[in-house]
């Protein structure tokens, strides 16, 4: 019997070697990590279809959602990181049709790095290239051992690659730069550099100085000799990669220190940077919106005009109470945004499209359950490295795909 493999949408690694088999009336999930298994098994509290907190048919909920968006002068559309490319495209179309602000979680996480990559300011690569070629791997401000449990074993440090046949013991060097000794830092052993919070830019500039032949200085406890030794390791790489986590994004006012470091490294060797994206298709939304508007997030449509900037972000739109309705898809701003800002959702009509109950769905005027893409319906997504991946359906479901829900809402407006 031919083995059938599926893609796990539990995180942005989109691992493509997942197998499902039946054993004693139970579905056994092989190869998935703990996050993947939980995701594929689906939520413990599925979202129910409601209008004004009362049970409703999907058609009634869709019609009510369309009514809310049609009557709104400036709706907010937010989320989409856990939606298929088709659904994201429909969300952008809906934003244009309703003159909405549209944004996703990248506006307060990995967005700056993705934007720099798409604008060719930072050199990046694919996960397959990392597995096959990388000999120097830097985990900066991230802990993939916990955030992306199969990252080290499937793509970065432990696997044997085409050019790394001797394995991690001889062919790869792992380095961690972080504010704490994470589980990933423990694996890196002596190649762990602990820096204070907000010191990432200073450390990146010190490494750039070291690569330029200058004596580096920092205001914290790492000695110049240690920085010079690290710079020496980095510049001897045959194929190097920095996996940048939220620690980098939240620490740096802008990415210029990291861009300068990459530029200095690439004068001496072949070095790349990749964002440690969390939601499985956050990067997909960034790519689609960039192709259509030139921006990856924080966009406001007004007829043929496009506005972009912090004033169009979900944080500012809610904080300044600019939106008079909201459509939240595959996200939970009540749990991820500051309470004082997210609470403003309670003051406007809110629609939630999601497979599971969330804090946000509990205050929503309309809730519409959606199938989990890659589990209960098929679709496409863009992996954390920018590679498009096809997602097959794993099991049957009577729930609609999020793309179909958006299509029906647009038809009803």
pLDDT, tens only, 156-190:
999 999 999 988 889 999 999 999 999 999 999 99
What per-residue confidence (pLDDT) applies to 189?
93
| Residue 294, SS3 per DSSP | coil
In this model, does residue 2 exceed pLDDT 80? no
If one looks up domain 110-275 in CATH, what number appears? Answer: 3.40.228.10
What per-residue confidence (pLDDT) applies to 186?
98
Q: Mean pLDDT across the stretch 13-39?
A: 92
pLDDT, tens only, 395-412:
999 999 999 999 999 999
What per-residue confidence (pLDDT) applies to 288?
98
What per-residue confidence (pLDDT) applies to 306?
97
* CATH 3.40.50.300 describes domain 45-108+280-372+400-412: no
Q: Mean pLDDT across the stretch 189-198?
A: 97
Average pLDDT, the chain: 96
Instruction: Report the distance separating Cα 279 and Cα 15, nearest Å.
Output: 13
Sign of dihedral through CA atoms 333, 283, 40, 13?
negative
Q: Kindly list the domain boundaries of the chain, sorted by start residue.
A: 45-108+280-372+400-412, 110-275
Instruction: Report the distance separating Cα 288 and Cα 338, nearest Å.
Output: 27
Instruction: Report the distance separating Cα 225 and Cα 219, nearest Å.
Output: 14
In this model, does residue 206 exceed pLDDT 70? yes
In this model, does residue 22 exceed pLDDT 90? no
More confident position, 359 or 1: 359
pLDDT, tens only, 220-262:
999 999 999 999 999 999 999 999 999 999 999 999 999 999 9
What per-residue confidence (pLDDT) applies to 247?
96
Structure tokens belonging to residue 352: 């939630």
| DSSP letter string, 231-290 | HHHHHT-SSEEEEE-HHHHHH-SSSHHHHHHHHHHHTTS-EEEEE---STTHHHHHHHHH
How does residue 23 score in pLDDT terms, banded at 50, 70 and 90?
Answer: confident
Q: In 39-70, which positions are buried (b, 16+ CB within 10 angstroms) versus exposed (e)? A: bbeeeeeebebbbeeeebebeebbbbbbbbbe
Q: Mean pLDDT across the stretch 43-66?
A: 96
In this model, does residue 121 exceed pLDDT 90? yes
What per-residue confidence (pLDDT) applies to 1?
60
Nearest to 297 by CA among 281, 280, 314: 314
Q: Mean pLDDT across the stretch 296-312?
A: 96
In this model, does residue 373 exceed pLDDT 90? yes
Sign of dihedral through CA atoms 87, 274, 76, 370?
positive
Structure tokens belonging to residue 86: 């088709």
Residues 381/374, Cβ–Cβ less than 8 Å: yes
Instruction: Report the distance separating Cα 133 and Cα 13, nearest Å.
Output: 18
């Amino acid at each position: 019997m031919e083995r059938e493999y599926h893609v796990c949408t539990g995180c942005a690694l989109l691992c493509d070697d997942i197998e499902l088999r039946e054993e004693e009336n139970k579905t056994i999930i092989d190869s998935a990590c703990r996050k993947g298994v939980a995701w594929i098994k689906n939520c413990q509290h599925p979202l129910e279809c409601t209008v004004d907190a009362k049970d409703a048919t999907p058609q009634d909920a869709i019609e009510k959602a369309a009514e809310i968006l049609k009557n709104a002068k400036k709706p907010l559309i937010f989320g989409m990181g856990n939606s298929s490319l088709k659904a994201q495209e429909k969300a952008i179309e809906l934003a244009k049709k309703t003159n909405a602000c549209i944004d996703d979680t990248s506006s307060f996480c990995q967005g700056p790095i993705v934007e720099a990559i798409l604008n060719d300011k930072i050199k990046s690569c694919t996960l397959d290239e990392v597995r096959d070629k990388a000999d120097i791997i830097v985990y900066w401000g991230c802990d993939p051992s916990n955030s992306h449990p199969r990252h080290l074993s499937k793509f970065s440090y432990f696997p044997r690659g085409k050019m790394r046949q001797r394995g991690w013991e001889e062919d790869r060097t792992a380095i961690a730069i972080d504010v704490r000794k994470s589980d990933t830092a423990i694996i890196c052993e002596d190649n762990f550099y602990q820096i204070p919070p907000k010191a990432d830019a200073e450390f990146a500039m010190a490494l750039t100085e070291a690569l330029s032949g200058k004596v580096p200085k920092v205001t914290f406890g790492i000695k110049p000799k240690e920085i010079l030794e690290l710079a020496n390791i980095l510049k001897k790489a045959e194929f190097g990669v920095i996996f940048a986590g939220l620690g980098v994004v939240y620490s740096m006012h802008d990415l210029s220190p990291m861009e300068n470091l990459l530029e200095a490294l690439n004068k001496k060797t072949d070095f790349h940077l990749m964002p440690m994206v969390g939601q499985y298709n956050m990067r997909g939304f960034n790519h689609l919106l960039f192709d259509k508007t030139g921006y990856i997030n924080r966009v406001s449509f007004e007829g043929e005009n496009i506005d972009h900037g912090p004033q169009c972000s979900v944080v500012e739109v809610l904080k300044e109470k600019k939106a008079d309705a909201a459509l939240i898809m595959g996200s939970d701003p009540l749990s991820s945004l500051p309470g004082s800002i997210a609470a403003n959702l309670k003051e406007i009509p809110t629609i939630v499209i999601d497979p599971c109950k969330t804090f946000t769905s509990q205050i929503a005027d309309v809730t519409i359950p959606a199938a989990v893409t890659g589990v209960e319906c098929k679709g496409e997504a863009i992996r954390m490295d920018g590679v498009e991946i096809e997602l097959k359906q794993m099991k049957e479901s009577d729930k609609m795909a999020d793309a179909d829900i958006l299509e029906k809402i647009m038809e009803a407006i």
